[in-house]
Chains A and B, each alone.
Chain A
Amino acid sequence: MKNAKYKAYVKRTPYMFLAPYICLTCIFFLYPLISAVILSFQQTNGPKSRAFVGLSNYAFVLTDPDFRKAVSNTVIYAIFSIFLQLPLSLGLAMLLNTAKDKTKGFFRLIIFSPNLVGQIFVGVIFSVLFVPRYGLFNRFMQDLLRWGLENRWLGNPSLVLPAIIITALWMYVGFNMIYFLAGLQSVDKSLIEAARIDGANAWQVFWNVTLPAIKPVATFVVVMSTIGSFQLFELPFALLKGEFGPSSSGLFIVSYLYSMAFRAGDLGTGAAVGWILTLMIMAISLAQIKISGTMKEGQ
């Protein structure tokens, strides 16, 4: 049975199994990747005409005030999703961690449920919740804080970004919470007991025992949510009805790319924006992984 023919067959198999991946990658990843590099050095006017323009697409993008606005909006959004959303997710996970399995599953299900709804749906729903005077959110704010009934969340340039951050908070808090919950499950309970007996208070236990134990998960979540934040597009797109808010207050890097490539038809500039975005994402996620000191693949 184990003749040469059979051995060759077994040897050939992994390549056969990987063939679909290799073919698809060559056609839909490598080839577009190379053409994205070339495209970013070209000017395109419509589908047929194209001319080599060197780095001028990059120069245009980097000096465009709209792009700067997009970068600053994106960075502010990313900062909030890391320093507001993730601590909240962690807090929720810690509240849930000691609960009984059934209760835990119940709350986990509820808090995760917004993720079942697509960003487009969430965006439009929240655009109605944020309506001045009548919107559910405005009414709730009025009841709770006696403030904000007439706020034009999506019409006032200084409120657009907070509105997007609030919407994203509703959507993603539960998603990250699941990761933190899984991480907390792996914390050694006897270690916490020992720290308690030695007289550590709750804060010290959290800082010296829990946090180091969930560091790999935390790194993974921070890197993933930074990458996600930098690619934000559909949520503000739906929230602002396909526009980018008053005085570009809801313009993000990918929205800028979309409007350049598909609204203005300038694929070359779109490709250049894409490469600038890639470099930013790579630089930031490598820095984060370096800082946390746990260089592990997120898989």
Chain B
Amino acid sequence: MNRLHIFLLCLAGIFVVLYAMLPKRPHIAFTYLRYVILILIASVVLAPFVWLVCSAFKDPTVLMKYSFLPPPSEWSKELNLKNFIELFKSQPSMEGKVYFWQYIINSLFLAGTTTVVQMFFSSLGGYSLAKYEFRGKKFIMLFMLASMMIPGVVLLAPVYKLIVNIGLMDTYWALVVPGACSVFGMFLFRQAMVGVPNDLIEAGRIDGCSEFSIYLNLIMPLVRPMTGAFCLVVFLGSWNNFLGPQVYINAQSKLTLPVVLNQYVGVYANQYGVFLAGTLLAIIPPAILFFCLQKEFISGLSSGAVKG
């Protein structure tokens, strides 16, 4: 018997007592049980995050000594900012000294650009599929569906050769351009825009708007929830993308956070404290974005699946 067992037994005991004391209203006991299970699961899910925060501030020598934080008496000795200081030190490379700031800026720039570019081209394509009738539309939609069946890795080797051949190696073009127009995004935007009344578009035409300004000024504001959801998905994907920069970028000063942080824990390095400090910082931007776009994200993500 240890503290964890006693704690769990107490929780179970309360359930039995509730169930026995209120035989006419057993749902109270079951509601209690439901929340206990949810809270336990939520704690298990959160535990690695708590561990991450604690570990980032622990002295590298005591990383594994304690599960979470050292006892308060040792705080002054064993908690410090060594990991962060090490992280922000300059690193020598072929292109001179590189600072950690550089990778944060790279990652922000790359994820931001990818998000804006993908949102623009995907919504433009989606609009044209939603609100225009034209020859070849059926074929394009079928082709898009079929292309979604092919896993990206099949194209990894030939796209790599292509990128090398057209000289985009070691540039951000190689990471932004190939995926600039996402098929998934086009379907998502089409779905959201199909419901916009045609009268609105006609009214815009009568008022003399160009087709592009109808798309930009009339339609896009109406599908803001979907735009928010899509942007978050794209930003997360780009921010956390490891394989792309790993394959296409060689220059140390152009690398992004996932690749750089992974260098601290490769086969020949084990600066886990520094890695964890960096990871903690790397989680912040997507977390902020997620909190801001939460509602849009969840409704946007699930509406596609439910409508079928």
Contact = CB atoms under 8 A, between A and B. Distances in A.
A120 to B, nearest CB: 4
A274 B41 CA distance: 38
B45 A113 contact: yes
Contacts of B147: 25, 29
Contacts of A24: 121, 177-178, 180-181
Nearest to B165: A47
Interface in B172-220: 177-181, 186-188, 191, 205-206, 211, 215
A134 interface: yes
Interface residues of A, number: 100
Interface stretch (B13-21, B75-83, B95-103, B299-307): B299-307
A277 interface: yes
A182 B305 contact: yes
Contacts of B88: none
Interface string B284-301: 001100100010001001
B47 interface: yes
Contacts of B156: 257-258, 261, 270, 274
A236 interface: no
B137 to A, nearest CB: 8
B153 A231 contact: yes
B145 A297 contact: yes
B282 interface: yes
B276 interface: yes
B94 interface: no
Interface string A116-132: 11111100111111010
A121 B2 contact: no
Main secondary structure of the interface of A (DSSP, over half): helix
B302 A278 contact: no
A170 B240 contact: no
A247 to B, nearest CB: 18
A111 B127 contact: no
B134 A15 contact: yes
Interface string B54-91: 01000000011101000000000000000000000000
Interface string B26-70: 000000001001100110111111011001000000011101000
B132 A14 contact: yes
A176 B125 CA distance: 28
Contacts of B134: 11, 14-15
A220 B305 CA distance: 7
* Those 3 A-B pairs whose CB atoms lie nearest each other, nearest first: A118-B240, A182-B302, A274-B154
Given A120-B258, A299-B304, 12 more contacts: A13-B211, A124-B261, A131-B64, A136-B48, A144-B5, A178-B302, A182-B298, A183-B306, A221-B305, A234-B242, A262-B247, A271-B157
